[in-house]
Chains A and B, each alone.
Chain A
Amino acid sequence: MTNARLEAIAQECRVQIIRMLTHAGSGHPGGSLSVIDLLTAIFLGRMRHDPRQPLSPDRDRLVLSKGHCVPALYTVMWKAGYFPESMLLTLRKLGSPLQGHPDRTALPGIEAATGSLGQGLSVALGMALGLKMAGSPSRVYCVLGDGEIQEGQVWEAAMEGPKLGQPRFPLDNLTVVLDYNRIQLDDFVTKVLDLEPVIQKWQDFGWPVQEINGHDFEQINKALDQAEATRGGPSFIVAHTVKGKTVSFMENNPEWHGKAPKPAEAVRAIREILGVSEAAWDDYLRSDSGTRAIVDELTALEKK
């Protein structure tokens, strides 16, 4: 898939993230928008998996350890064909498989329950080990949040990762990506508990570390290639991202960690995601019936 195509899909996913969170009335837009480019590149550009056989033993696996950003994962799962678009609007509603945080038993394609931060890397280590023992060609991807790595369990896993399975089953089938958007729930990460020097920390624990711009598909893909080519152990990618990326009033604003936009805010967010000026918006909507429908639906939501 070309980078231009991935970018177009990520834009579509961003619109859907805003749409579904607004319908849900709660959730985490900031981190979903910071991680969506990474998830698009990994889940749609790279992983081998089949929504018709979501439990096929040789599938690649993604553990979204920062489970609160699962709306981003739901959008790439929708794009991959795991469920229809209409299901996105059931997010956080009673009876929906699209739980507020990932539920493996509710939705095939979700690989582990996460959302209680700090647990996903350990599970990903176990998966990578099990696959290696089975001689499977599958890869495991694990996406961590930056605030999340304040959890102690992450460092238990960090210490173990390069050593687990050695020498027979080195976990070179595992790529771990840090979504470094620099904001956690209460405030900026530097103000709550600074992670720096974060690259040094992971290197000291024995991980080869790459540093990239997590919104640049060329850099993302190059780093994923290099991680895949690495032998002898797992790889770590520090992806610098912007919380709330592409929505001006959400970008770099801790307020948007964990609240859903109101319908009017959502419409503005969608306009900005699509890169349309306020002056050109009405004309744009006349030319794009799909977006028009989403906007109308959001506007109707406001009147409810």
Chain B
Amino acid sequence: MPAKASRAAFGEALLELGARDARIVTVDADLSKSTMTVGFAKKYPERAFNVGIAESNMIGIGAGLALTGKIPFVCSFACFLVGRFETIRISVAYTGANVKLVGTHVGVAIGEDGYSQMGLEDVAALRALPNIPIVQPADELETRQAVAYAVDHDGPLYLRLTRQNLEPVCPPDWRFGLGRWLILREGRDVTLIGSGGPLFNCLEAAKQLAADGISAEVINAASIKPLDEETLARSAARTRHVVTVEDHSIVGGLGGAVAEFLSDAQPTLLRRLGIRTFGESGDPTALYVKHGLDPTGIAHSVKKFLNR
């Protein structure tokens, strides 16, 4: 499989699932060409609703559709979608509406458009709501599975998708599930937990570290909420050093979730890599280097962490 953006895999998966399940509808706010629901809208015009640049209304309409038995995928850039937090909080979460929230263009990896278009706080905000699972698939295969999972899951769910292409990392027989993490590479000295965009860089960093005699375990944490506590606890007990890597604020995201769990259940030395500032315009690769999310940056942080 070639590298593919998870938003693109999402659009394709939705087309296929839409043929099998007439309950699936899409609601967009003038970004369907970017969220990749445009294909679905062409094939099923009577099930695709573009409500204009009005995200709060889009979310509310999605909730109403869900309450009459539809399975709405409510889509926008992650920052614009989750920016309407109060509508998600009441009309979707508290109401218990079976809405699939889809936030694309996450992280500094969107590059040139700059901070205002980057989803960097979406996980932190939605994690605080008690009933919304958060899923960030790692590659095309996992994205397709996650979309199918979202359709079957009874209740609201948030899919966090990338604009940039993602290298395939999951084996063909992998089956995504909430609360199930995938160990992509086993190791003894440090556990690298990544998700979405930077996950491939974790694998590359592990190769660099191996050359320096450091054995790094790499875990795909597509299920950001709930965590796979069992896998996390077991790996942390073995390596005694955990590093989280995310293209998201280091506050409240995957790193925050891991920190909360470990400090409650199993205090473990931890480093959180992620975004500590506003984002900015620039080449995505250069931005990852700047924020230390490139393979060399990750490997450097790990060595510093391990004092090696």
Contact = CB atoms under 8 A, between A and B. Distances in A.
B52 A160 contact: yes
Given A115-B90, A164-B51, A130 B95 contact: no
14 contacts: A119-B86, A122-B60, A122-B63, A125-B61, A126-B65, A126-B66, A128-B64, A130-B64, A133-B25, A136-B68, A153-B56, A153-B57, A156-B54, A160-B57
Interface string B63-79: 11111111010000000
Chain B contact residues (Cβ within 8 angstroms of A): what range? 20 to 34
A122 B99 CA distance: 14
Interface in A131-185: 131, 133-134, 136, 152-153, 156-157, 159-160, 164-165, 168-169
B137 interface: no
B65 A116 contact: no
Contacts of A112: 63-64, 67, 91, 95, 97
B223 interface: no
B89 interface: yes
Tell me which of B57, B66, B72, B95 has the highest count of chain A C-beta atoms within 10 A of its own C-beta. Answer: B57
B70 A116 contact: no
Contacts of A152: 56
Nearest to B84: A153
Given A130-B64, A130-B67, A164-B61, A122 B52 contact: no
B265 to A, nearest CB: 29
B49 interface: yes
Q: Is the interface of B mostly helix, strand, loop or mixed?
A: helix
Given A112-B97, A123-B67, A126-B65, 19 more contacts: A105-B94, A113-B94, A119-B60, A119-B86, A120-B60, A122-B61, A122-B64, A123-B60, A126-B60, A126-B64, A130-B64, A133-B47, A156-B52, A156-B54, A160-B54, A160-B57, A160-B61, A165-B49, A169-B46
A119 B61 CA distance: 10
A127 B49 CA distance: 13
A103 interface: yes
Interface string A70-106: 0000000000000000000000000000000001110
A120 B91 CA distance: 8
Interface residues of A, number: 37
Given A114-B90, A160-B52, A126 B61 contact: yes
Tell me which of A120, A126, A130 has the highest count of chain B C-beta atoms within 10 A of its own C-beta. Answer: A126
B96 interface: yes
Interface of B: 25, 46-47, 49, 51-52, 54, 56-70, 72, 86-87, 89-91, 94-97
Contacts of B52: 156, 159-160
Nearest to A154: B57
Contacts of B54: 153, 156, 159-160
A169 B48 CA distance: 12
A123 B46 contact: no
Contacts of A123: 60-61, 63-64, 67, 91, 95
A18 to B, nearest CB: 28
A128 B95 CA distance: 17
Contact of A157 (B47, B57, B86): B57
B26 to A, nearest CB: 13
Contacts of B56: 118-119, 122, 152-153, 156
A15 to B, nearest CB: 30
A113 B56 CA distance: 15
Contacts of A130: 64-70
B91 A129 contact: no
A156 B57 contact: yes
Contacts of B67: 111-112, 123, 126-127, 130
Contacts of B70: 130, 133
Contacts of B60: 119-123, 125-126, 153, 157
A165 B63 CA distance: 16
A57 interface: yes
Nearest to B49: A164
Contacts of A126: 60-68, 72
Nearest to A105: B96
B57 A104 contact: no
A124 interface: yes
A104 B64 contact: no
A160 B64 contact: no
Given A57-B69, A129-B64, A130-B69, A113 B57 contact: no
Contacts of A129: 49, 61, 64-65, 68
A113 B65 contact: no
A93 to B, nearest CB: 19
